[in-house]
Structure 1
Amino acid sequence: MVDPTSDHHEDVDEEEAPNCEVCGDAIVNEVTHRVTTWVADDSVQTVHFCSEDCKTEWDES
């Protein structure tokens, strides 16, 4: 898995790229990539989204 703090839109192979939490698409070289991070039960949780629309859909669920 690629470091979530790295520049995901630069030189990321599809096999190494994170998948969108909503639609499941690999996020490869997408400048629309969004990440939400929070702490739960003393661990960091992170979800990736391929677009603002997918992030909004996840936020509303």
Structure 2
Amino acid sequence: MVDPTSDLGEDVDESDAPACANCDEPILQSPTHRVVTWVEDGAVRHRHFCSEECREEFGE
């Protein structure tokens, strides 16, 4: 997978793009891309969402 801090708008193949945690669609060149980050058991975790609506629907 691509580094989540990278510029996802360039040279990202669909197979390398992060998938939305809610709808599972690949996130490519999306200005609505959201990343939720938290620390759990001393490790940094994150989830990608294609939009604010998908983030809200995820329900966690």
Same fold, judged at TM 0.5 (above): yes
Residue deviations 1:7-26 (CA, integer Å, cap 9, x gap): 22333110110000000000
CA RMSD of aligned residues (A): 1.2
- Sequence identity (%): 55
In the other structure, the counterpart of 2:29 is: 29
Is the 1:11–1:29 Cα contact (8 Å) retained in structure 2?
A: no
Q: Structure 2: which 5+ runs fail to align?
A: none
Q: What TM-score, normalized by structure 2, do the two folds share?
A: 0.88
Cα offset for 1:54?
A: 0.3
Q: What TM-score, normalized by structure 1, do the two folds share?
A: 0.87
In the other structure, the counterpart of 2:49 is: 49
Hey, which bits of structure 1, 4+ residues long, moved more than 2 A?
none
Q: Structure 1: which 5+ runs fail to align?
A: none
CA distance in 2 between partners of 1:56 and 1:11 (Å): 29
In the other structure, the counterpart of 1:15 is: 15
